[in-house]
Amino acid sequence: MTVRIEPADPVRSPGFFGEVSGIDLRRDLTDAEVAEVAAGMDRFAVLRFRDQDIDDAQQLAFARHFGPLEQATGDIVQGADRRLPMDVNDISNLDRDGRVMARDDRKRLFSLGNMLWHTDSSFKPTPAKYSALSARVIPDRGGNTEFADMRAAWDALDAETQALVRDLVAEHSQIFSRGTLGFTDFTEEERARWVPVPQRLVRRHPVTGRLSLYLASHAGAIRGWPTPEARMLLRDLIEHATQPRFVFVHSWRPHDLVMWDNRVTMHRARRYPADQVRDLRRVTVADCAPTLEQAA
């Protein structure tokens, strides 16, 4: 098979969201296929692989080709209460017995944070590079995932704003993002695990050299700035970056796998009927170092 990668929507989104065909993720990839996918990630930032009926082991094997995997230490459910192993993020509304969670379930309320614009694991000292999300069961309506192109968002800023934000360092924590939803009942252990970490606000892609904004709802402070001024700027930048012209809306089919480059994108989940099952699983490739240790 020959790997082909083309824009999913050549008119609205020619260089951001790619559609991959001619690849079977149930089988181990060849070196040539890995290189094609990596090049596609650098060119587009998000890739969709349709009709990939894979299990967790196949998803893990696929992602490992792109670097060491993260552990799901950002999930609120840890230890024996987890439904899935520590190298798989549980992006579902199911409890460990496979039932749709109760409305007031703590895990469910925490998971609603995925509906805020974010980039994965920016609340960890070394954040995520790639996320690979596989759809196993999807609701009959709603539940899209939206992606924002943070390279295009940077390019579209005026020069004065670019100069203002170019060297800023933000602090990211899941305590901030959940706090904006009124979710505040964290344990001492969770507060310690999710202390704010510094991240550059503007990053340079190591392969393409392109600059991009690096933002998330996890960002609640800017080093050296008064808090209200920092939060207002962050809010303003997120609003800028998520205008429809920078956003691609992905509508799930069962067995879709979507992989995105967290260094240059944000994403969010959309609402869906609370009584329906939505079971997606995410495997995450770690970045190489904290953003402050990477070339600006």
Q: Which of 131, 173, 199, 217 binds ligand OGA (CB under 6 A)?
A: 131
The answer to whether residue 173 forms part of the interface with ligand OGA (CB under 6 A) is: no
Closest CA to 15 of 50, 44, 48: 44
By CB under 6 A, is residue 280 in contact with ligand OGA? yes
Residue 51 burial (CB count, 10 A): 12
**Among the residue ranges 65-73, 112-120, 148-156, 272-280, the one whose residues contact Mn ion (CB under 5 A):** 112-120
Strands 46-49 and 197-200: unpaired
- The phi, psi pair for 120, rounded to 5°, reads -70, 135
Q: How far is the CB of 160 from ligand OGA (least distance, A)?
A: 32
Q: What does the alpha-carbon distance between residue 111 and residue 126 come to, in Å, rounded to a whole number?
A: 21
Measured CA to CA in angstroms, residue 211 lies from 67, 115, 151 at distances of 22, 25, 6
Rounded CA-CA distance 268/112 in Å is 10
Neighbours of 239 (CB within 10 A): 10
Residue 113: CB minimum distance to ligand OGA, A: 9
Least separation in angstroms between residue 136's CB and Mn ion is 17
Q: How far is the CB of 225 from ligand OGA (least distance, A)?
A: 27
The answer to whether 120 contacts Mn ion (rule: CB under 5 A) is yes
Let me know how long the chain is.
296
Residue 268 beta carbon to Mn ion: minimum distance, rounded to whole angstroms: 8
The item of ligand OGA, Mn ion, none sharing an interface with residue 5, based on CB under 5 to 8 Å by kind, is: none
Closest residue to bound Mn ion by CB: 120
In this chain, which of 13, 52, 145, 242 binds ligand OGA, going by CB under 6 A?
Answer: 145
Give Cα 61 distance to the centre of its chain.
Answer: 19
Would you count residue 200 as binding ligand OGA (CB under 6 A)?
no
Chain position carrying tokens 């991009």: 212
Q: Which is nearer to Mn ion, 122 or 291 (CB)?
A: 122
Query: Which residues of the shown chain bind Mn ion in the complex (CB under 5 A)?
Result: 120
Q: Which residues bind ligand OGA (CB under 6 A)?
A: 91, 114, 120, 131, 133, 145, 267, 269, 280, 282
